[in-house]
Structure 1
C-alpha cells in the first residue's frame, strides 16, 4: 500500500485515540517498515483553528466520540474544513455502550461531502464519559482484537482494489434528533448548561485547564467555567485529586439511568 497513513481524532478521555491509532499502527505494520503515520489530534481548540487538506495519496482514519447519538455538534464546523481531494477514509465513532444511533452515517456523509472516499467504517465502544462503570475500561482486549482484524481487512481491501463502491453503514437519513435525557419523572430535561463543580481537594495543578477540549476552565481559578461544557468529563477523569464532580440532580439521574439500563455489553460493528 503506497499511501500516507494518517490518524485524525477528537478524544477527550483517550478512547477514540486508542482505536484510531491502533488501526493506523496495524495498517502501517501491514504496509511495511517504511510506512509512516501522521497524527492529527484535534481534541484541543488550538488545533481546530486551521483547515487541513489531504490528497488521493492519503489514507485517513477519522475518529470522533458519539454525543447523544450524533457527531458532536461542536465539531461540525471544523470537520467541514477538512478536505479530502480523493483521499481514502475510514470513519470511526466511539460510544458509551448506549447506542451510536446516526453518528456513523453522519460522519461518513461529512467525509464524502468533503471529497473523501470512505472505504470502511466502524462503531466501537469506550467507557462512557459520564461514568466509571458503564463500559468500564473499554475498549478492552476483546475490542482491540476486533480493531486489529478490522485494520487487516481494510489493508486487504485497499491493496486489492483500485475502485470502491459507496459504503453502506447503519443509520437514518434524515438523522434522528439528538438523544434527550429524562428526569426521574420521565420528563425530558436539558443538561447542556450543567457544569462541573470543584471541591476543596483541588491543588490548582491546572491539569483540567490543559485538557478541556473547549478551553472553558479558567486558568487563574480552575473552579470557574468560562465557556461551554460538553460533558466530556476529561477534567473529572483526569483530576489527580478527584476534585471535579457534577452535582446537578437531573444530570446524576441521567447518569444512573444510563448505568442501569445500558449495562449489557454491546459489541463493535464494522462496515467494509
Structure 2
C-alpha cells in the first residue's frame, strides 16, 4: 500500500506531495494537521511505501508534525522524505525528518526538497510549485517509485545537531472576524478559541498560517508592522529563484 502523509498548513506541501505521488495509482492520505486524530493507530508494514511531506519552519521540521509522526509505527516501511520550503533555505529539515522517520521504524529510501510559495511573505516564490515544477516533480515521482521498489539507503544534506529553532513568534490577528469558525477547525494546535475566534492563544500558535489561508473573509492577518520587519530581514535571502532537489 502507498501512503501520502502530509503536514500542510497553507496547501503548498500537499500540492507538492500530490505531484510527487503521481506515479502511484492508489494512495491512502493521512493528514497530520488533524489535531483530533489518534496517530498511534497507524501501523505500517515492510511492503508499504510512505511519502512523508512537511514544510520547513526556520530550517526545522515543525514540532507538531514531529510529535505526530513519533506516534506512528513504521514497521520497516520504505519512506520518501519530502521537505517543502518558501524559497529561503531548508537547512536541517531533511536530516531531522530522516532521523524522525528512522526512529519510528521507517526506512528512508529517497526524498526531495521542493520550493513552494512562502506561507507568510507570499510574494516570494508566488504560485510555486507552478506548471514547470509540476512537470519536473511528476517525472521525479517515477524515479522515486523505482527507488522504493529497489530499496537501499539515501543521503540528505544537513547538520546534526540541528540548528536551534529561532523563528519570531507571530500570532495572526482577526479584528474583523465574522465568527464563521473555519479557523477553529483547521488550526492544528487548537490555538483559536471556539467561543471567540478573534482570540488566538499565543502560547500555542505555531505561526503555520493555516488560519490565514483558510479564512473566507480574509480577516486573519499578521500585524502589518511586524510583517514589514520580517520582510526587511528575510527579503534578501528569499529573492531569486531556488531550484527543487531530488535525492535517491
TM-score in terms of structure 1 length = 0.84
Please give the per-residue CA displacement for 1:202-240, whole angstroms capped at 9, x wherever unaligned: 222112112211121111211011351111112222222
Q: Does 1:259 align with 2:246?
A: no
68-77 vs 88-97, which deviates more?
A: 68-77
RMSD: 1.8
**Count of paired positions:** 247
C-alpha contact 1:8 1:61 (8 A) present in aligned 2: yes
Distance 1:39 1:169, change over 3 A: same
Q: Does 1:27 align with 2:2?
A: no
Alpha-carbon distance in structure 1 between the residues aligned to 2:221 and 2:206: 14
Q: Does 1:177 align with 2:164?
A: yes
1:208 is matched with which residue? 183
Alpha-carbon distance in structure 2 between the residues aligned to 1:88 and 1:49: 18
C-alpha contact 1:168 1:271 (8 A) present in aligned 2: yes
Please give the per-residue CA displacement for 1:43-82, whole angstroms capped at 9, x wherever unaligned: 1211255342100121000011111101112332222122
Q: Does 1:97 align with 2:87?
A: yes
2:55 is matched with which residue? 65
Please give the per-residue CA displacement for 1:142-163, whole angstroms capped at 9, x wherever unaligned: 221221111111222234x3x5
Please give the per-residue CA displacement for 1:100-128, whole angstroms capped at 9, x wherever unaligned: 00100110111122221111111111111
Note the 1:121-136 alignment, pairs <5 A.
Answer: 121-136=111-126
1:260 CA displacement? 4.1
C-alpha contact 1:51 1:78 (8 A) present in aligned 2: no
Structure 1, unaligned runs of 5 or more: 29-35, 182-190
Q: Which has the larger radius of gyration?
A: 1
TM-score in terms of structure 2 length = 0.92
Note the 1:3-82 alignment, pairs <5 A.
Answer: 4-28=1-25, 36-47=26-37, 50-82=40-72
Distance 1:218 1:107, change over 3 A: same
Note the 1:90-239 alignment, pairs <5 A.
Answer: 90-159=80-149, 161=150, 163-164=151-152, 166-178=153-165, 180=166, 191-192=168-169, 194-200=170-176, 202-226=177-201, 228-239=204-215
Please give the per-residue CA displacement for 1:2-59, whole angstroms capped at 9, x wherever unaligned: xx1110011111111112122223222xxxxxxx311111112112553421001210
1:88 CA displacement? 0.7
C-alpha contact 2:110 2:148 (8 A) present in aligned 1: no
Alpha-carbon distance in structure 2 between the residues aligned to 1:170 and 1:49: 28
251-260 vs 140-149, which deviates more?
A: 251-260
